[in-house]
Amino acid sequence: MLPQFGTAVRKNKTLNKSLNADAGGSAPDKASVDAAWLVLEAANDLGDHAAIDACRRVIDAELNGTVAGSSDLDLVLGYFR
């Protein structure tokens, strides 16, 4: 199955749910981490170092069970818009 980009991502209910969930102060949910991996791949291809760093922080937060920064989550979840 091919990864979803652009408007297809916005239609994904799980990903849209994570936009509202990051206000709760918990560790990143599965959808935001999955999005971070997709954005990381695209950002690597484009040489977008700011996005690469944000993705790494979101992924690291999930692995460590900590809270990712809201600005990092906003960048990751809005990258293809």
Task: Please write the tens of the pLDDT for every residue from 42-79.
Answer: 999 999 999 999 999 999 999 999 999 999 999 999 99
Query: Within 1-81, where are the H helices?
Result: 7-10, 13-21, 30-46, 49-64, 70-77
Is residue 15 in some structural domain?
yes
Nearest to 71 by CA among 31, 55, 42: 55
Q: What is the rounded average pLDDT of the residues 20-40?
A: 74
Is residue 58 in some structural domain?
yes
Is residue 30 in some structural domain?
yes
CB 49 within 8 A of CB 39: no
Is residue 73 in some structural domain?
yes
Is residue 1 in some structural domain?
no
pTM of the predicted model as reported, rounded to 2 decimal places: 0.65
| pLDDT value of residue 71 | 96
Say how many domains are in the chain. Answer: 1
Q: Which domain holds residue 69?
A: 7-77
Is residue 2 in some structural domain?
no
Is residue 53 in some structural domain?
yes
| pLDDT value of residue 21 | 47
